[in-house]
Amino acid sequence: MEIKREPIPQDLDFRSRQLMARDMLRGELEGEDLERYVEQAVMTTTLDRAVAWAQGNSIYPLTFGLACCAIEMMSIVASRLDIARFGFEAFRASPRQADVIILSGRVSIKMAPVIRRIYDQMLEPKFAISMGACCSSMGDFNNYALVPSDKFMPIDVHVPGCPPRPEALAHGILRLRDKIQHNEREGWRERYAAVGTEEVLRDGEAHELHGGVALTAATGESQGA
């Protein structure tokens, strides 16, 4: 399984692209210039990359605030740093409808089984962001009452801070978006020795979900890196 990462080709500076666009509108682009313009303006890609691009731009977070980091998560929804511009505005209360769980705050031992159950109720593809120092490691409180979130569920992105600034959480969210769009997330199954724990869709025909891209029953092979 090869992981290919291709950045969006942007070899021209802004002024040249502007001139090319002007020529295009006038109908004056020809030949190689036209081909280059089309390459830059239109994304040609495989289906799974397109799907991953769409998935990454419309993630529904779960409304899951635990403690102080939840207030900074609320301020990321507010108008100063507005994550609606990234497509994240639809906070869903039901785990069945959410894509990413942002663990914001300290995870106590009483809450850990609840979080695990909620995470299990989420449907694939699902992601987890551990926001703040308390849930990534133990943070300020290395004692009997807390458990680091790594211990009971797989986390994709850890965002440090106590509490992380909204900009820091936005950085973490965009990092997650990069991961989704460039299909890096196969990584977590290897990291947590969880290969083979993919969900079975139908009796008899095991469908493997690689990086969240569902396969068709007919082809039965993975489309994707």
Partner 1 sequence: MLDRTALEALAQGLRDAEPSSVLGTTFDRGRAEIQIDPSRNVEVIEWLREQGFTFLASLHGVDYLPEEPRLGVIYELLDMTEVRRVAVKARVSVEDPKIRTVVHIWPGADFPERELYDMFGVVFDGHPDLRRILMPEDYEGFPQRRDFPVGGEPILFTYNETEHYGRDR
Partner 2 sequence: MSSISDYRKREESITMSTESAGMGETHELLTLNIGPHHPATHGVLRVIATLEGEVVRDIKPVIGYVHTGIEKTAEQKAYWKAIPVVERMDYLSYYFNAMAFCGAVETLLGLEVPPRAQYLRVIHLELNRIMSHLVWLGTSALDLGAMSMFWYCFREREAILDLFEMSSGQRMHTRYFQVGGVIEDIPVGFAQKVQKFVDGMPARADQYADLLEKNEILLGRLRDTCPLDAETLLGLNVTGPLLRAAGVPWDLRKAQPYCSYEKFDFKIPVGSVGDNYDRFRVRHAEFYESSKIIDQALNGLPEGPHIADDRKIVLPPRHELATSMEALIHHFKLVTEGFRVPAGECYYPIEAPRGELGCFVRADGSAKPARVHMRDPSFVNLQATAPMVKDSYIADLIATLAMVDPVLGGVDR
Q: List residues binding partner 1 (CB under 8 A).
A: 109-110, 137-138, 142-148, 150-151, 191-193
What is the chain's length? 225
Query: How far is CA 205 from its chain centroid?
Result: 28
Q: Which does 68 bind (CB under 5 to 8 A by kind): partner 2, partner 1, none?
A: partner 2
Specify the residue, 24 or 112, whose C-beta has the smaller distance to partner 1. Answer: 112
Q: Which does 125 bind (CB under 5 to 8 A by kind): partner 2, partner 1, none?
A: none
Interface with partner 2, residue 99, by CB under 8 A: no
Pick from 89, 102, 154, 108: nearest CA to 132: 102
- In the complex, what is the shortest distance from the CB of residue 150 to partner 1, in angstroms, rounded to a whole number? 8
Instruction: From residue 31, give the alpha-carbon distance in Å to each of 8, 12, 27, 36, 37.
Output: 22, 17, 12, 9, 10
Specify the residue, 75 or 181, whose C-beta has the smaller distance to partner 2. Answer: 75
Six-digit token pair at 137? 């490691």
Q: Look up residue 87 and give its DSSP letter.
A: T
By rule CB under 8 A, what count of residues binds partner 2? Answer: 34
Interface with partner 2, residue 68, by CB under 8 A: yes
From candidates 63, 137, 222, 223, binder to partner 2 by CB under 8 A: 63
Q: Which does 64 bind (CB under 5 to 8 A by kind): partner 1, partner 2, none?
A: partner 2
Q: Are the C-beta atoms of 108 and 136 separated by less than 8 Å?
A: no
Q: Are the C-beta atoms of 208 and 200 separated by less than 8 Å?
A: no
- Tell me how far apart the alpha carbons of residues 103 and 129 are, in angstroms, rounded to a whole number: 6
What residue ranges bind partner 2 (CB under 8 A)? 63-68, 70-72, 74-75, 77-80, 93, 105-106, 108, 110-111, 114, 118, 134, 140-146, 162-163, 165
